[in-house]
Amino acid sequence: MQPIFERLKEKGLTLTPQRMAIVECLVGNTTHPTVDEIYSGIKERYPTMSKATVYSTLKVLKDLGEVQELSIRKRGEVCFDPIPGMHHHFMCSECGNVLDVTLACPEKCPILSVDTIDGHKINEIQAYLYGICSDCASKSA
Protein backbone atom coordinates (compact mmCIF):
# COMPACT_ATOMS: atom_id res chain seq x y z
CA MET A 1 0.00 0.00 0.00
CA GLN A 2 2.80 2.41 0.77
CA PRO A 3 4.40 2.56 -2.67
CA ILE A 4 1.23 3.80 -4.32
CA PHE A 5 0.84 6.62 -1.80
CA GLU A 6 4.44 7.65 -2.42
CA ARG A 7 3.91 7.58 -6.13
CA LEU A 8 0.77 9.69 -5.85
CA LYS A 9 2.58 12.18 -3.65
CA GLU A 10 5.38 12.40 -6.18
CA LYS A 11 2.80 13.12 -8.82
CA GLY A 12 1.71 16.11 -6.79
CA LEU A 13 -1.41 14.72 -5.14
CA THR A 14 -2.25 16.07 -1.70
CA LEU A 15 -2.82 12.98 0.39
CA THR A 16 -5.82 13.63 2.61
CA PRO A 17 -7.43 10.89 4.71
CA GLN A 18 -10.41 10.90 2.37
CA ARG A 19 -8.26 10.37 -0.68
CA MET A 20 -6.28 7.63 1.03
CA ALA A 21 -9.49 5.83 1.89
CA ILE A 22 -10.63 6.05 -1.72
CA VAL A 23 -7.29 4.81 -3.02
CA GLU A 24 -7.33 1.94 -0.53
CA CYS A 25 -10.77 1.01 -1.76
CA LEU A 26 -9.53 0.96 -5.34
CA VAL A 27 -6.22 -0.87 -5.01
CA GLY A 28 -6.66 -4.48 -6.03
CA ASN A 29 -10.36 -3.94 -6.55
CA THR A 30 -11.50 -5.86 -9.63
CA THR A 31 -15.21 -5.14 -9.26
CA HIS A 32 -15.04 -1.93 -11.33
CA PRO A 33 -16.79 0.08 -8.65
CA THR A 34 -19.10 3.02 -9.28
CA VAL A 35 -18.89 6.29 -7.36
CA ASP A 36 -21.76 5.15 -5.19
CA GLU A 37 -20.16 1.80 -4.46
CA ILE A 38 -16.92 3.47 -3.40
CA TYR A 39 -18.83 6.02 -1.36
CA SER A 40 -21.02 3.45 0.37
CA GLY A 41 -18.11 1.16 1.15
CA ILE A 42 -16.12 3.95 2.77
CA LYS A 43 -18.95 5.74 4.54
CA GLU A 44 -19.40 2.98 7.11
CA ARG A 45 -15.96 3.61 8.54
CA TYR A 46 -15.91 7.26 7.54
CA PRO A 47 -19.32 8.81 8.17
CA THR A 48 -18.52 12.33 6.96
CA MET A 49 -17.32 11.16 3.56
CA SER A 50 -19.09 13.04 0.82
CA LYS A 51 -20.00 11.85 -2.64
CA ALA A 52 -18.65 15.10 -4.10
CA THR A 53 -15.24 14.19 -2.69
CA VAL A 54 -15.39 10.78 -4.32
CA TYR A 55 -16.27 12.39 -7.63
CA SER A 56 -13.48 14.94 -7.37
CA THR A 57 -10.87 12.43 -6.23
CA LEU A 58 -11.71 10.06 -9.06
CA LYS A 59 -11.33 12.90 -11.52
CA VAL A 60 -7.89 13.71 -10.11
CA LEU A 61 -6.83 10.06 -10.15
CA LYS A 62 -8.05 9.78 -13.70
CA ASP A 63 -6.05 12.84 -14.75
CA LEU A 64 -2.99 11.32 -13.09
CA GLY A 65 -3.50 8.14 -15.10
CA GLU A 66 -4.03 6.06 -11.96
CA VAL A 67 -7.58 5.06 -12.76
CA GLN A 68 -9.48 4.63 -15.97
CA GLU A 69 -13.10 5.49 -16.43
CA LEU A 70 -14.92 2.87 -18.46
CA SER A 71 -17.21 3.79 -21.32
CA ILE A 72 -19.91 1.39 -20.21
CA ARG A 73 -22.36 2.18 -17.46
CA LYS A 74 -22.73 -0.34 -14.66
CA ARG A 75 -26.45 -0.31 -13.89
CA GLY A 76 -26.63 3.27 -15.06
CA GLU A 77 -23.54 4.57 -13.30
CA VAL A 78 -20.04 5.30 -14.53
CA CYS A 79 -17.57 2.73 -13.24
CA PHE A 80 -13.83 2.73 -12.78
CA ASP A 81 -10.88 0.42 -13.23
CA PRO A 82 -7.69 0.85 -11.18
CA ILE A 83 -5.74 -1.62 -13.30
CA PRO A 84 -3.47 0.24 -15.71
CA GLY A 85 -2.77 -0.84 -19.24
CA MET A 86 -5.08 -2.01 -21.96
CA HIS A 87 -7.38 -4.90 -21.25
CA HIS A 88 -10.91 -5.69 -22.22
CA HIS A 89 -14.10 -5.97 -20.21
CA PHE A 90 -17.09 -8.25 -20.03
CA MET A 91 -20.46 -7.04 -18.82
CA CYS A 92 -23.28 -9.37 -17.84
CA SER A 93 -26.56 -8.27 -19.39
CA GLU A 94 -28.42 -9.82 -16.49
CA CYS A 95 -26.69 -8.73 -13.28
CA GLY A 96 -24.73 -5.86 -14.78
CA ASN A 97 -21.44 -6.89 -13.21
CA VAL A 98 -18.28 -5.94 -15.06
CA LEU A 99 -15.36 -8.34 -15.25
CA ASP A 100 -11.84 -8.08 -16.59
CA VAL A 101 -11.19 -10.18 -19.64
CA THR A 102 -7.91 -11.99 -19.81
CA LEU A 103 -8.09 -12.95 -23.44
CA ALA A 104 -6.34 -10.47 -25.69
CA CYS A 105 -6.11 -9.78 -29.38
CA PRO A 106 -2.86 -10.90 -30.94
CA GLU A 107 -0.26 -8.16 -31.17
CA LYS A 108 -0.45 -8.26 -34.93
CA CYS A 109 -4.16 -7.49 -34.98
CA PRO A 110 -4.58 -4.58 -37.39
CA ILE A 111 -6.80 -2.75 -34.97
CA LEU A 112 -4.01 -2.77 -32.42
CA SER A 113 -1.07 -2.18 -34.71
CA VAL A 114 -2.30 0.94 -36.45
CA ASP A 115 -2.02 4.30 -34.78
CA THR A 116 -4.13 6.04 -37.40
CA ILE A 117 -7.42 5.00 -38.93
CA ASP A 118 -9.07 6.76 -41.87
CA GLY A 119 -6.75 9.68 -41.06
CA HIS A 120 -7.76 9.91 -37.39
CA LYS A 121 -5.11 9.55 -34.72
CA ILE A 122 -5.79 6.77 -32.23
CA ASN A 123 -4.78 7.09 -28.59
CA GLU A 124 -6.78 4.43 -26.83
CA ILE A 125 -8.81 1.29 -27.42
CA GLN A 126 -11.53 -0.20 -25.25
CA ALA A 127 -13.39 -3.37 -26.16
CA TYR A 128 -16.53 -4.55 -24.44
CA LEU A 129 -17.98 -8.04 -24.51
CA TYR A 130 -21.61 -8.50 -23.53
CA GLY A 131 -23.24 -11.70 -22.44
CA ILE A 132 -24.43 -13.76 -19.49
CA CYS A 133 -21.97 -14.48 -16.71
CA SER A 134 -21.60 -18.00 -15.36
CA ASP A 135 -23.33 -17.09 -12.10
CA CYS A 136 -26.46 -15.83 -13.81
CA ALA A 137 -26.39 -18.73 -16.28
CA SER A 138 -26.38 -21.31 -13.50
CA LYS A 139 -29.09 -19.48 -11.57
CA SER A 140 -31.52 -19.47 -14.47
CA ALA A 141 -30.77 -23.12 -15.28
Partner DNA sequence: TTTGATGCAAACGGTTTGCACTTAT
Partner DNA sequence: ATAAGTGCAAACCGTTTGCATCAAA
Range 94-113, binding DNA (CB under 7 A): none
Q: Does 43 bind a copy of itself (CB under 8 A)?
A: no
CB 128 within 8 A of CB 74: no
Determine, following the binding rule CB under 8 A, whether residue 86 of this chain makes contact with a copy of itself: no
How far is Cα 86 from Cα 65, in angstroms, rounded to an integer? 12
Our CB check for DNA shows the closer of 15 and 125 to be 15
Q: Considering only the stretches 7-15, 93-101, 106-114, 127-135, report the one whose residues sit in contact with DNA under the rule CB under 7 A.
A: 7-15
Kindly write out the interface string for residues 55-84 of this chain, putting x where it contacts a copy of itself by CB under 8 A and - elsewhere.
----------------xxx-----------
Torsion angle (degrees, nearest 10) of CA 84, 87, 92, 95? -10
- The site partner of 114 among DNA, a copy of itself, none (C-beta below 5 to 8 Å per kind) is a copy of itself
Single-letter code of the amino acid located at 9: K
Q: Is 15 a residue that touches DNA (CB under 7 A)?
A: yes
Q: Phi/psi of residue 81, each to 5°?
A: -130, 120
CB neighbour class for 55 (10 Å; exposed up to 12, middle 13-18, buried from 19): middle
- Could you list the residues that contact DNA (CB under 7 A)? 13-19, 34-36, 48-53, 55-57, 59-60, 73, 76-78
